[in-house]
Amino acid sequence: MHRDADIDRRSSLPGEHLSDHQILDLVHGLLDQEVRARAVNHAAVCPACEVRLQEQAGWRERLRARHRLCTSPRGEIVIRSIPVSDEAPTGPRPSAADLWNRVRDWWRSAAGLRGDFGLGLATAAAVVVLLLAVPLQNSSVEEAPSWMPVPHGELRFRNGDGISADPNLQHGLEAYGRRDLRNAIYYLRRAQTAGGLETVRRIYLGSALYRVGDYESAIALLQTVDLETLPDPWGRVARLTLHAALRDAGRTAAADSMGTILSREPDQGAGARADPALIRISHRAEDLHGRRAIPPGG
Amino acid sequence: MRPRAPLPPSSRQVPAENPSGAGNPQWPRRLAALADRLGKDLGPADREAMRGEAWLLLNSSLSNYLQRHAARYGHAPREELEDIAAEKALDLLRRIESGTWDLSGRLVGEIHRFLSQVARNGLIDYFRRAGREVPADGDGRPAWEEESRGGLEITDPGSAVSAPDARVERHEFVRTLSECSRRLQLRSRRAWFFRVFYGMSTREIAAHPDIGLNPGHVDVILQRARETIRECMRSRGFDTHEMPPGTFVALWQALGEAAGPLEQGR
């Protein structure tokens, strides 16, 4: 690092406040020992500079606590953030329109992808419209995973070619909504789907299989889905379900590894505010042929 | 904390346009050096460390610029400024890694101007989304020019201390509190420090990479730390409700030293 003798001398003079740059350098450890010592000595006797140093240092530590840089399966840098407050989330539940917007945005970016991404996620132009009143529940790693959001109201399936989806998918989701797991599994196993609808089929079927105790089948199924990129609450519930299946199947190491990551995820309780700093996942329009989703800890 | 990844000597340093002049910050140079390395082949651990450091530098500097611009263009809630800084920092980091933002050969002043402009544009976009009128540029002077003056009147720091005996008492308080805090294990001391001096929530403390506990455990640690320090200070005749100037710097310095040489850079 280049030393600036004139600046060093100025910083050591009584009465010379630290600039924002110097404080930034000090907080991020970019000053050499002698310059740092002078800056610290000044801040120790200058309340104004001490306050600014405290603010900058606190900002840095809060950033380190709240945000994690990760790489999505598509190789793009994303931020994962935690909620700030220790208080329970308050405020209105996200509306069906909010949830639909999340699904729509996710599908729009997925529709630009080509190639077989494990499930053919990127090839389908199918759009699932779910009118939901979602019973969002707090699901911590220690608790049992929630049910997937219960669809009621009208379920409509359509894709860009105007071809109706396999009715077995709809029957399976309706059965799941009634908690009729036996029929849900029966229909979801038989549904012929592709692309995004296949994703839906797998996460609901995986949840149903877990709930009947078929942990290994649930694991095998959920591990083929890119759970990280699913919008919440589906993504969160699916990840918790996979974690629970790993745990209950006795795969302790994999479950512990996944549990550590999940315990740091934002808790999407009922009424969670739509925080723009929450998981942002963007998909690049590129060929993902042959890449298989690798869930965290799986 | 992961040790800072060493950077090899590079010929593509950010030149110092006025090495002996005022305002010779190091962070733009560090950012440029990190950008240079991130554009190359790196091991996953090194990339993670450098990426994290670059993002912190970007976020911190953008935050400073945002606060300055907000002071001139109009108030914005703190949470919005935080979001803008996080979003812009992520975008710039992605551009660094993709090579679309090349810092090699950039002067320090260029980096300042660019980041200040990014912050300003982010703030103006926020005002427009919020349906607020976008004010005209203030006095026409770029925000980054203010930083070289520190934005504060120069005063004799000695004037902050009223009398010699008050100075002695403050010094004793700080020394005693430092000693009392050393009774705590490092992680507990850090958690207590984060709460007292940064006002971090239990969740934030728990999620901090240097803590790594669940929130319930953090609450227990904090409770015990408060009791330990309170009892220790009381036994020496001090009250912990009021902390005089100089307390933060002393404890911050001591915490950095206790963490070891790898974290001295913090």
The closest of A83, A61, A88, A103 to A200, measured between CA atoms, is A103
Q: Give the minimum alpha-carbon distance from B228 to chain A in angstroms, rounded to a whole number.
A: 23
Element (H, E) at B120: helix B108-129
Interface list for B 232-251 with A (CB within 8 A): 245-246, 248-250
- Among B24, B154, B205, select the one facing A16 at the smallest CB separation: B154
B234 CA: distance to closest CA in chain A (Å) = 24
Comparing CA positions, the residue from B80, B61, B60 lying closest to residue B70 is B80
**Residue A159 confidence (pLDDT) above 80:** no
pLDDT on residue A97 = 53
Give the residue, B259 or A109, on which the prediction is more confident. B259
Per DSSP, the three-state class of B177 is helix
Among B residues 122-151, those touching chain A with beta carbons less than 8 Å apart: 147-151
* Parallel, antiparallel or unpaired: strands A127-132 and A77-81: unpaired
In angstroms, the CA B88 to CA B69 distance is 15
Closest residue in chain A to residue B98, using alpha carbons only? A76
Interface of B with A in 173-232 (CB under 8 A): 194, 197-205, 207-210, 214-215
Asked if the C-beta of B262 comes within 8 angstroms of chain A's C-beta atoms, the answer is no
Matching residue, tokens 């651990």: B45
CA distance A148 to chain B (A): 26
Residue A2: pLDDT band (50, 70, 90) is very low
CB atoms within 10 A of CB B167: 16
**What are the tokens at A215?**
């942990």
CB-nearest to B27 from A21, A54, A263 is: A21
Nearest to A2 among B16, B197, B248 (CB): B16
**What's the CA gap between A107 and A3, in Å, rounded?**
53
Per-residue pLDDT, A165: 65
Q: A interface mutation test: which of B204, B247, B255, B262 has the most A CBs within 10 A?
A: B204
Distance between CA atoms of A243 and A219, rounded to whole angstroms? 9
- Of the ranges A72-76, A164-168, B176-180, which one carries the lowest mean pLDDT score? A164-168
pLDDT in tens, A14-43: 458 999 999 999 999 999 999 999 999 999
pLDDT band at A143 (very low <50, low <70, confident <90, very high): low
Residues near A15 by Cβ (< 8 Å), separated by ≥ 6? B154, B155, B156, B157
Structure tokens at A59: 């900002």
Contact A69 B200 (CB under 8 A): no
User: At residue B14, what is the residue type?
Assistant: V
CA A219 to chain CA centroid, Å, is 19
**Per-residue confidence (pLDDT) for residue B35, from 0 to 100:** 94
Of residues A28, A61, A69, nearest to B27 (C-beta): A28
Considering all CA atoms of chain B, what is the largest pairwise distance in Å, rounded to the nearest integer? 60
Residues B207, A169: Cα–Cα separation, whole Å: 40
Q: Give the separation between CA B189 and CA A171, rounded to whole angstroms.
A: 57
Nearest to B29, CA basis, from B94, B93, B106, B95: B106
Helix (H, G, I), strand (E, B) or coil at A156: strand
SS3 (DSSP) at A71: strand
Read off φ and ψ for residue A11, nearest 5 degrees: -65, -25
**Distance of alpha carbon A233 from alpha carbon A83, whole angstroms:** 16
Do the Cβ atoms of B172 and B178 come closer than 8 Å? no
Cβ–Cβ under 8 Å, residues A24 and B61: yes
Closest among A241, A257, A247, A263 to A298, alpha carbons compared: A257
| Closest to B95 measured CA to CA, from B124, B122, B55 | B55
- Residue B210 CA to residue B163 CA, distance in Å, equals 39
The Cα–Cα gap between B252 and B229 comes to 16
For residues B19 and B15, what is the distance between their CA atoms, to the nearest angstrom?
9
Nearby residues of B258 by Cβ (< 8 Å), 6 or more positions away: B182, B186, B189
Asked whether A74 and A288 are in contact (CB, 8 A), the reply is yes
Contact B56 A15 (CB under 8 A): no
Q: Residue A107 has what pLDDT?
A: 54
Strand pairing report for A127-132 and A67-71: unpaired
Average pLDDT rounded to a whole number, residues A220-249:
86
Contact B155 A15 (CB under 8 A): yes
Residues of chain B under the 50 pLDDT cut: 1-2, 9-22, 139-162, 262-266
Residue to substitute from A64, A79, A256, interface B, most B β-carbons within 10 A: A64
**Which pLDDT score is estimated for A173?**
87
Average the pLDDT over each of A100-114, A136-150, A280-294, B183-197 and give the range with the smallest value: A280-294
Rounded-to-integer distance, Cα B150 and Cα B64, Å: 12
Q: Which of A24, A66, A263 sits opposite B61 (nearest CB)?
A: A24
Rounded-to-integer distance, Cα A49 and Cα B153, Å: 12
DSSP letters along A105-118, please? HHHHHHHT-BS--S
Name B172's Cβ contacts closer than 8 Å, sequence gap at least 6. none
CB A222 within 8 A of CB A245: yes
What's the pLDDT score for residue B136? 59
| Alpha-carbon separation of residue A13 from A3, A251, A272, B156 (angstroms) | 17, 63, 51, 9
3-class DSSP state of A132:
strand
Distance from the Cα of B116 to chain A's closest Cα (Å) equals: 13
Q: Do A29 and B250 touch (CB under 8 A)?
A: no
B27 and A CB contact within 8 Å: yes
- Mean pLDDT over each residue of chain A, to the nearest integer: 69
Give A179's DSSP letter. T
Nearest CB to A24: which of B64, B82, B203? B64
- Which residues in chain B touch residue A282, judged by CB atoms under 8 angstroms apart? none
pLDDT score of A144 = 60
Token pair for residue B144?
């980054």
Residue of A43, A84, A277 with shortest CB distance to B249? A43
User: Hey, are the CB atoms on B24 and A5 less than 8 Å from each other?
Assistant: no
* pLDDT number for residue A269: 44
Which chain A residues have a beta carbon less than 8 Å from that of B200? Answer: 58, 61-62, 65
Is the pLDDT at A91 greater than 70? The verdict is no
pLDDT given for residue A271 in this prediction = 36
Whose structure tokens read 């010379």?
A16
3-state class (DSSP) for residue B84? helix
Which pLDDT belongs to residue A70?
84
Find the mean pLDDT for residues A263-268: 61
Phi, psi of B104 (to 5 degrees): -65, 135
Enumerate the residues of chain B whose CB falls inside 8 A of the CB of residue A76.
94
